[in-house]
Amino acid sequence: MSQPVRSLDVPGESVLAHWENFVRTIDELAPGKKVADIWFRKLRPLSFDGQVLLALAPPTAFVDYLLNTHGDLIRQALQHSVGKGVELSIVKRDNVPEDQLPALEAEQLQLADSNVGQEPVKANLNPRYRFDNYIEGESNRFAVASARSVAETPTTTPFNPYFVYGGSGYGKTHLIQAIGNQVLRTGSLRRVVYVTSEQFVNQFIASIKTKRTTDFTHLYRNVDMLILDDIQFFTGKERTLTEFFHTFNSLYQAGKQIILSSDRPPRDLEDLDERLTSRFASGLVTELTLPDYETRVAILEKRADEHRASLDPRIVDFLATHICTNVRDLEGALLQLIAQSQFMRAPIDLDLAHQVARKFAPTRRAQVSMETIAEACSRYYNIPLLDLKDRGRKKEVAHTRQVAMYICHKLTRHSLRGIALHYGRRDHSTVIHAVKTVEDRITGDQVFRSEIDDLLRSIELHA
């Protein structure tokens, strides 16, 4: 890989940004190993043509050794930070024509100078959270479009602060980190910091203990973009709130970009100063909701792809239909499925999917009562509630009762017998039969499947 270079570009802003991002990613992928410090921080980025990132090594560097021992890490980091299929090429200084060196050095010095007095900050971003692997759908269209626009024109966008809220596992962290990753990749901002509110609180407390609050204040008031996750965590923490209030104002007045997430809208954040919440509202407040069925399918397919797992469309459909708590559960179920099938060296089939999906349902929905489920089924199929619990065997009634039993089995922790009793039966085998009948139909009957999907959703809303 140490072929002579034909022409050397002077490193522009974007090469440097790509390089910084790449090195930072190396750090993140191999934390604590100092690989980045030992090897990569000694190299200098030269050019990037969209395919090959070219870097210059000191004459004494063991380039081949580096490429051999860290080849996988390099490939992975490049893929996360710069793009798929990008390669790293390293040239040694003795292979660079003499006359090109001075210009290079001067340019690099100049670029370095522009950063004087600005010690680097650790962005703390997860390279996996990007826009290109964030699936868009009805549930998040506006939130994603506005997030992209912030990432494209940070600090000049009217969406400042950018505030996104929504339930746990709906994709807030991924989205706000995608903004940070993108501005670092394009190089439009340098000092980007992501921090969870919990970390913010802990760092603040630690700084009080060690009498270094000025350092803390200095760090957070001197960033170009502050991404603060889960700010509902500040509730009840008065001193941190005061500190955050000042940080916010100082950044806001300096025209720096502020990005916030929370599990609830600003008006529901108790304890937060009204001057703050009204400022939030002056930027952009947007909500993420539970992705709809199509988006859930797309997310599963994308994630399966990333894990190079091929999934039968029926499995994807089954998971997307039955796991509608949040995206985290959806992914969790998928990853468990993949892991189990690898472990057992067996293909992922519907049986396995059933087992895994069941594990995800009851714990999330422990608070759904059998009565809520019975009412929802009675409403949905227009069958009087009392009939459901009666011994009647009319076809529609029996059918609705089976569905209700099936959903109770899926969503609650009640025993088979407990479920049977709720529907006026003594024998748990009635429930087993109901579950099996419904599951069989779900796999074969598209219309029925979407009925169940609707029902599950309406139950979720009433839970």
Check residue 173 for interaction with Mg ion (CB under 5 A).
yes
Closer of 39 and 170 to ligand ADP (Cβ): 170
Q: Which of ligand ADP, Mg ion, none does 244 bind, CB closer than 5 to 8 A by kind?
A: none
Binding string, 107-136, against ligand ADP, x = CB under 6 A? ---------------------------xx-
Stretch that binds ligand ADP, among 236-244, 271-279, 324-332, 377-385 (CB under 6 A): 324-332
Closer of 153 and 232 to ligand ADP (Cβ): 232
Check residue 326 for interaction with Mg ion (CB under 5 A).
no
Closer of 45 and 166 to ligand ADP (Cβ): 166
Stretch that binds Mg ion, among 173-181, 218-226, 300-308, 378-386 (CB under 5 A): 173-181
User: Please, what is the minimum distance in Å from the beta carbon of residue 302 to ligand ADP?
Assistant: 6
Closer of 139 and 173 to Mg ion (Cβ): 173
Q: Are 348 and 337 in contact (CB under 8 A)?
A: yes
Check residue 22 for interaction with ligand ADP (CB under 6 A).
no
Closer of 95 and 289 to ligand ADP (Cβ): 289
Tokens for 1? 């890989």
Q: Which residue is nearest to ligand ADP (CB)?
A: 171
Under 8 Å CB-to-CB from 386, ≥6 apart: which residues?
A: none
Q: Which of ligand ADP, Mg ion, none does 331 bind, CB closer than 5 to 8 A by kind?
A: ligand ADP
**φ, ψ at 262 (rounded to 5°):** -160, 160
Question: In the set 172, 399, 401, 441, which binds ligand ADP (CB under 6 A)?
Answer: 172
**Count of residues that interact with Mg ion, criterion CB under 5 A:** 1
Find the binding residues for ligand ADP in span 288-317 (CB under 6 A): 299
User: Please, what is the minimum distance in Å from the beta carbon of residue 146 to ligand ADP?
Assistant: 14
Closer of 173 and 240 to Mg ion (Cβ): 173
Stretch that binds ligand ADP, among 29-37, 57-65, 166-174, 215-223 (CB under 6 A): 166-174
User: Please, what is the minimum distance in Å from the beta carbon of residue 319 to ligand ADP?
Assistant: 14
Q: Are 82 and 52 in contact (CB under 8 A)?
A: no
Check residue 168 for interaction with ligand ADP (CB under 6 A).
yes
Q: Are 52 and 19 in contact (CB under 8 A)?
A: no
Under 8 Å CB-to-CB from 362, ≥6 apart: which residues?
A: 410, 411, 412, 413
Among candidate residues 29, 268, 319, 20, the one with its CA nearest the CA of residue 166 = 268
User: Please, what is the minimum distance in Å from the beta carbon of residue 172 to Mg ion?
Assistant: 5
Check residue 171 for interaction with ligand ADP (CB under 6 A).
yes
Establish whether the linkage from the previous residue to 291 is cis, with ω within 30° of 0.
no
Closer of 331 and 460 to ligand ADP (Cβ): 331
Check residue 327 for interaction with ligand ADP (CB under 6 A).
yes
Check residue 283 for interaction with ligand ADP (CB under 6 A).
no
Check residue 333 for interaction with ligand ADP (CB under 6 A).
no
Check residue 21 for interaction with Mg ion (CB under 5 A).
no
Check residue 331 for interaction with ligand ADP (CB under 6 A).
yes
The angle formed by the CA atoms of residues 205, 210 and 215, to the nearest 5 degrees, is 80
Residues in contact with Mg ion by CB under 5 A are 173
Residues in contact with ligand ADP by CB under 6 A are 134-135, 140, 166, 168-174, 299, 327-328, 331
